[in-house]
Chain A
Amino acid sequence: MKGPVLEVRDLHVWFDGPGGRDVHAVRGVSFDVRPGDRLALVGESGCGKTTTVLAVLGLLGAAASVSGSVRVDGQEVLPGGDAAMAPYRWGDLSIVFQGALNALNPVRTVGSQIAEVLPRDRRVSRRAALRQAGELLERVGMAARNVARYPHELSGGMRQRACIAMALAGEPRVLFADEPTTALDVVVQAQILELLDRLADELGLAVVLISHDLGLVGQLCDRAMVMYAGRAVEEGPTVGLYTAPRHPYTRLLYEATPVLGAERPLRSIGGGPPALDVPLAGCAFRSRCPDTEDRCSLTEPALTPVAPARRAACHLTGRTP
């Protein structure tokens, strides 16, 4: 078995807040990505999933302080900050940013934007770079002639494909995809899913999907980490999470996800996530949790094994099947 490409251990992220009240956005997240893995980071807006990935890639900038450990091929990169990560970014680790409709520069052609991220040693003449950009577009199911077009000439789905082509330019081993289907039509969502699925197979790419769409997660990923208030509350194989969620938040998220033809109505999760600029006492989910008891307000449950390859952070997990 090959070792992990990426190992993240006990990652914490703080953002400077007004009045010195720092926001503790990511509170001790750990995960591994091995070659060919399909992992999902799942949760509502503000749960820290995007921040986790940006911190791993060293893209958070000066407003954030990051601690913990991030290893690429066993090599620690976190203490070195953005500079230490730079050789891996767009190369071994690449990202498709959220918001495909706005992620491209509107006044430059698609081809020139893809050519820009080609690795320096491969960037030859302008013509050769554009040819390579065209090949990348073909790989994502677009005609190579689209290199000459501007983003506004492309549909939303095509723009997302172009963003994926750009992320593939450095021949990554791990592709992070941040909400790659939000703001796209259902039909186009399914097309993008097929594309990511095919690329992962063909290129042996590991995919880390960031999404709140459990339909997409179920169809693309084998493993998922459910995040809440900056922490992982449950992780394990997606089949197991779907059939027998062990954390109430995971269960409620699945109940909020539509299934066509299902007889059950959708449920929403009342309330909202806690503020992260004050220290949390007890379980972060307790204000929205349907089944709490006294100890939930006293100590924050740790992520503990509940089944093979499954971990959950809930005091009551032992009792709720």
Chain B
Amino acid sequence: MSHLLEVEDLVLHHRVPRTVADRVARRPARVVRAVDGVSLHVDRGELVALVGESGSGKTSTAQSILGLVTPSRGTVRIDGSAIEGLGARAMRPWRRRMQMVLQDPYGSLDPRCTVASIVEEPLLIHRLGGSAEQRRAKAVDALERAGLRPAGTFLPRRPRELSGGQRQRVAIAAGLVLDPSLLIADEPVSMLDVSVRAGVLGLLRELCDGGGTGILLITHDLATVAHYADRLAVMYLGRIVEEGPPRTVIEAPAHPYTRALMSSVLHPDPRERGSRVVLGGDVPDPGARPDGCAFHPRCPLADDGCRTTDPALGPVDRRPAGHNAACLRPLPVSRTTAAPDHAPGGTAGTSPATGPGAVPDPSPGGTVMP
């Protein structure tokens, strides 16, 4: 059976126009490789999290899938049929089936509109929903599915009268009103208070569990989504560098970048200090992708091979099927302990450095990597 969403070898390159200085120096035009060969799929009832730092290309991937930008190459299939031509015009008939939830519910909702008109607008755009009464009924249904109950009390309200969590639910309802089979959520909780994040993520999870919807969730916050996702895909500099079920990826990350992302997650227990491996620097300029493995300049384990050979995404030793990584020197499994609740999975550190004011750690979590 075909996947709900199947992306194959998606590439989005931007040519940076040459400046006068570039022409004088006869420098070739620079190409920014925002997305550089991404393949992924999402099934109905599945929540896939695409994780990475700013500049890793995760939002560009989503925009390419939705046709908001025209990718340079690649295929996007919905239920097995390829979207021909890729690009804004070709996308129009497909848009109903793919909806997006944006990061900022404070900026993405028109402050002058009522909740009713925000949620009904997609129906008008797509000339659906029949009469005003039928549209209203669909809006009420979407709001209730988004957890705003009773929906009637929300219809006449405006965004400023709602809390951040409620606003994001309105944005989700506006996405749901067209009954899309695919929802792409770009950082749907990062602007929200921690106290309401679980509610919004739980809602997305329920939508998947209903069976009809698949969700691609884009985030930089691995810890928050790990619990809700069926699969994780970690992106770095335009490519997926590791993918698999959250459990195995977090218990036994194969790519050093995944491990570094995990150890950037800050543990609320002060006794867990000193186990961080902090990556230096920022994601490199995608216009100047390093040779070999793109991560090698920041990788603590890189050797000469990594500087010359660009690893492909594939199965890794001693990981279950479906857990793939693109690394020449994948991390071993056995020495990365995933400790239960008390210690974070990613405590594998370079050394048990004594953090300032650190209390000697009584928990068994912090196994040390070589």
Contacts and interface: CB of A to CB of B under 8 A. Distances in A.
Interface string B272-306: 11001011101000000000000000000000000
Contacts of A268: 165, 195-200, 202
B182 to A, nearest CB: 24
Interface residues of A, number: 53
Residue from the set B195, B262, B271 with the largest chain A CB neighbour count within 10 Å: B195
Contacts of B40: none
Contacts of A256: 194-195, 197-198
Interface residues of B, number: 56
Contact of A44 (B193, B222, B279, B357): B193
B269 A218 contact: yes
Nearest to A198: B356
A300 interface: no
12 contacts: A185-B220, A186-B53, A186-B220, A186-B261, A200-B356, A215-B265, A218-B273, A219-B272, A258-B226, A261-B250, A261-B340, A265-B227
Contacts of B357: 38, 222
B343 interface: yes
B328 interface: no
A214 B198 contact: no
Nearest to B262: A260
A236 B152 CA distance: 44
A99 to B, nearest CB: 12
A187, A190, A212, most chain B CB atoms within 10 A: A187
B341 interface: yes
A189 B264 contact: yes
Given A185-B220, A257-B268, A261-B338, A267 B164 contact: no
Given A187-B279, A222-B357, A242 B270 contact: yes
A45 B193 contact: yes
B356 A201 contact: yes
A262 B198 CA distance: 14
B282 A215 contact: no
B282 A188 contact: yes
A263 B280 CA distance: 30
A180 interface: no
Contact of A157 (B198, B270, B282): B282
B254 interface: no
Interface string A174-213: 0000000001011111110110010011000000000011
Interface centre among B221, B278, B279, B280, by most A CB within 10 Å?
B278
A232 interface: no
B313 interface: no
Given A191-B280, A213-B194, A260-B265, 17 more contacts: A155-B54, A157-B282, A183-B190, A186-B222, A187-B264, A190-B263, A212-B195, A218-B266, A257-B268, A259-B267, A259-B268, A261-B340, A261-B343, A261-B344, A261-B346, A266-B201, A268-B198
A264 interface: yes
A18 interface: no
A298 interface: no
Interface string B336-358: 00111101111000000001110
Given A218-B270, A260-B265, A260-B346, A266 B193 contact: no
B163 interface: yes
A45 B268 contact: no
A242 B359 CA distance: 14
A218 B342 CA distance: 14
